[in-house]
Amino acid sequence: MSVLVTGAAGFIGMQACAALLERGEEVVGVDNLNDFYDVGLKEARLAELGEHTGFTFHRADIVDAEAIDAVFGAHAGIRRVLHLAAQAGVRYSLINPQAYIRTNLAGHGVILEACRRLERLEHLVYASSSSVYGGNRKAPFSVEDRADDPVSLYGATKKAGELMSHCYSHLYGLPATGLRFFTVYGPWGRPDMAAYIFTRAIFAGEPIPVFNRGDMRRDFTYIDDIVAGLMAVIDRPPAATDEEPPHRIYNLGNNRSEPLSRFIEVLEAAIGRKATIDLQPMQSGDVKATYADIEASRRDFGYDPKTRIDQGLPRFVAWYRTYHGV
């Protein structure tokens, strides 16, 4: 039996594939290697995965239904699907909204249709986001909270993906779990995320942009904790009840909301240099704070994030030094 992973060349996708391979799974990876950020980084991630036996890669766009059907058709043993491919980034959704509508709505629909037609599908696990909570002022953010007032198109498309998945689960009995990720960071991370942006700027002696004049808090979640959660979730598909179809939503975060100023201080210590701060106003579509309530994930999956930024950021910096040769 195989696990199909979309977004296999992405930050979380690459490390999820590696974890599946290390426990002996056959993994079918799918990614279109788009140029939202450095394609070379994506290719380097794939090169790491290529060192494992049991990994097969297909370059395909999830919006291309014919290509995705061909991938599913070429691997008769697919029983679980980990759908991580998406157009990510809150701020980029202000610049290129069609990319989000295309990938996060139409592409998500293609994956749902492929899963619906898959014989003996055991579980679809898909990536949602803490962005669905919008400007929620209640903390920590719980999956029981209303999440129908997004403040970014990215958040809106992720919420729509949850609704689409619930509908397929209701209509076709498709077992599916959506995971709301909270600000994931770590080695092999995305260049458009704060850890990477700040680290690159500090090494270059350039100012780092700090929005809302630094009055920001984030639930920074280390990649190893996210992957551990993914491995626990994929093995436990939800069951239908008299009241609910086999579809559930969970938060995967660190259950700790850190001030952005402390995040920068830990980075400075790991790099050994002080940052030049460029205070800027709040960006459209952004939120002041995020904070994950993970009690449901603890209860149902034993999810137990262990890595604080004091440990995680130095590991990221060590990887950055090696990868970039600085």
What one-letter code names the amino acid at 37?
Y
- Token pair listed for 165: 């998945």
Positive or negative: CA dihedral 39, 45, 46, 47: positive
Positive or negative: CA dihedral 132, 245, 15, 270: positive
Q: Where are the alpha helices (DSSP H) in the chain?
A: 11-22, 39-50, 65-74, 92-95, 97-100, 108-117, 153-172, 194-204, 223-234, 260-271, 295-301, 309-324
With contact defined as beta carbons under 8 Å apart, do 214 and 144 qualify?
A: no
With contact defined as beta carbons under 8 Å apart, do 157 and 126 qualify?
A: no
With contact defined as beta carbons under 8 Å apart, do 17 and 84 qualify?
A: no
Tell me whether residue 154 is one of the annotated catalytic residues: yes
Rounded CA separation 254/220 (Å): 6
Contacts of 40 (CB under 8 A, 6+ apart): none
Rounded CA separation 190/65 (Å): 27
Q: Where are the alpha helices (DSSP H) in 128-259?
A: 153-172, 194-204, 223-234
* Catalytic residue of the set 37, 154, 185, 303: 154
With contact defined as beta carbons under 8 Å apart, do 7 and 107 qualify?
A: no
Positive or negative: CA dihedral 158, 184, 149, 264: negative
With contact defined as beta carbons under 8 Å apart, do 222 and 254 qualify?
A: yes
Q: Catalytic site residues?
A: 154
